[in-house]
């Protein structure tokens, strides 16, 4: 649908507008009493969220690389890519795209609405098309609800309409903006086991907070609890609360891998940290016929230091 038609049917006066972004990709700009945000129709991918909270006014929470490639069909380096219906490499089909196809597919708008508290909710659906139909889990529908308010909420609902169970893995692969990743303390993963991708997925044990001074790529197992990204340089905590996820991925490519990847920018790795709300590794989701699975996450920002470990 053209942006004029989208604005006619789904625009909200003074609050939500569809515009044409770089390379013709449609973007949604939202500005309400609580926050501003940008979402791309490709991947239904949040690219920006700035809560208007006292002490945090207009400070970006979501990181997007200065070298991100917005060419349609390319995954954008940053924001909140939705990995679906698998996380990482596909188990059997090595040619199929890493992290699934949801992040490079154009989603459709189901509805846009202003909630009673002034937040803005956008609901997306994704349909099988020529590019993804052969990879689509049979008889499955998917819906993503994004709520832009003082807090940012995402809910991904996968419904099994068929007669046989389906199995998926998935993630909100969120890139958080931090002032200086070497001064960030990630709370909430103390005393848990993780698979270290950089060491052949060896199982290791986390003691205390997670800090980042080198490349890190880990899947934390059996982790359903809240996480807090304590950013000492910004004097800001990002609180991550989730549901329907029992794994948490923590990733920063650091300098050498960033250089190889090529779309992280010159020193982008120093100002980002991925903390991903996931169903990854053995935490796959089996959805029985007629049932659905909800992957839900909420982000909130607060000031000050964080003490729990
Ligand atoms: O979630 C961590 C991870 O799977 C890393 O292993 C790293 O490769 C990263 O995601 C980025 O993946 P991408 O397919 O976006 O290049």
Distance CA 239, CA 302 (A): 8
Angstrom distance (rounded) from CA 241 to CA 296: 8
Ligand 1: which of 43, 67, 245, 251 to mutate, most ligand atoms within 8 Å of CB? 251
DSSP assignment of 162-194: SSS-EEE-EEE--EEE-S-GGGEEEES-TT-EE
Q: Is the pLDDT of residue 309 over 60?
A: no
Q: Is the pLDDT of residue 72 over 80?
A: yes
**Residue 161 Cα, ligand 1 centroid: separation in angstroms?**
30
Residue closest by Cα to atom 4 of ligand 1: 88
139 counts as catalytic:
no
Structure tokens at 181: 């990743």
One of 10, 34, 99, 173 is an active-site residue; which one?
A: 173
Reported confidence tier of residue 308, pLDDT bands at 50, 70, 90: low
Burial status of residue 232 (CB atoms within 10 A of its CB: 0-12, 13-18, 19 or more): middle
Spell 13-36 as b/e; 16+ CB within 10 A means b: eebbbbeebeeebbbbebbbebbb
* Catalytic annotation present for 22: no
Q: Is the pTM of this model over 0.95?
A: yes
Average pLDDT over residues 276-305: 96
What is residue 27's three-state secondary structure? strand
Ligand 1 site-directed mutation target among 42, 84, 173, most atoms within 8 Å of CB: 173
Indicate which residue's Cα is closest to atom 2 of ligand 1: 251
pLDDT tens digits along 232-253: 999 999 999 999 999 999 999 9
Q: How far is the CA of 164 from the centre of ligand 1 (A)?
A: 30
**Alpha carbon of 198 to ligand 1 centroid (Å):** 12
User: Worst-scoring range by mean pLDDT, 17-26, 269-278, 299-308?
Assistant: 299-308
User: What are 83-131's pLDDT values in tens digits?
Assistant: 999 999 999 999 999 999 999 999 999 999 999 999 999 999 999 999 9
Which of 39, 35, 50, 51 is closest to 82 using CA atoms? 39
Among the listed ranges 134-138, 206-210, 251-255, 303-307, which one has the minimum average pLDDT value?
303-307
C-alpha 162 to ligand 1 mean position (Å) = 31
Give the number of the atom of ligand 1 that is nearest the alpha carbon of residue 249.
Answer: 1
DSSP state of 71: -
Share the mean pLDDT of the chain: 96
């Amino acid at each position: 649908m053209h942006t004029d038609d989208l604005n006619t049917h789904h625009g909200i006066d003074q609050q939500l507008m569809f515009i044409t972004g770089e390379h013709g990709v449609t973007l949604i700009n939202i500005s309400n009493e609580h926050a501003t945000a940008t979402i791309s129709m490709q991947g239904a991918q949040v690219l920006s969220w700035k809560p208007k909270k006292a002490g945090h006014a207009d400070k970006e929470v979501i990181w997007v690389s200065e070298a991100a490639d917005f060419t349609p069909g390319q995954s954008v380096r940053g924001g909140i890519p939705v990995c679906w219906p698998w996380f990482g490499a596909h188990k059997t089909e090595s040619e199929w795209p890493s992290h699934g196809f949801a992040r490079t597919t154009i989603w459709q708008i189901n509805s846009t609405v202003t909630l009673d508290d002034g937040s803005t909710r956008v609901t997306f659906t994704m349909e099988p098309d020529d590019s993804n139909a052969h990879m689509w889990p049979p008889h499955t529908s998917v819906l993503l609800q994004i709520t832009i308010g003082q807090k940012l909420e995402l809910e991904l609902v996968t419904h099994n309409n068929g007669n046989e169970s389906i199995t998926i893995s998935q993630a909100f692969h969120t890139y958080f903006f931090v002032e200086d990743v070497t001064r960030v303390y990630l709370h909430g993963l103390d005393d848990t086991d993780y698979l270290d991708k950089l060491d052949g997925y060896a199982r290791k044990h986390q003691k205390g907070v997670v800090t980042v001074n080198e490349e890190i790529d880990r899947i934390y197992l059996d982790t359903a609890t809240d996480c807090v990204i304590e950013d000492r340089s910004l004097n800001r905590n990002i609180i991550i609360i989730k549901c329907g996820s029992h794994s948490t991925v923590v990733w920063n490519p650091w300098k050498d891998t960033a250089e190889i990847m090529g779309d992280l920018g010159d020193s982008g790795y120093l100002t980002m940290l991925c903390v991903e709300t996931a169903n990854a590794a053995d935490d796959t989701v089996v959805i029985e016929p007629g049932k659905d699975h909800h992957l839900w996450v909420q982000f909130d920002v607060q000031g000050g230091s964080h003490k729990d470990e």
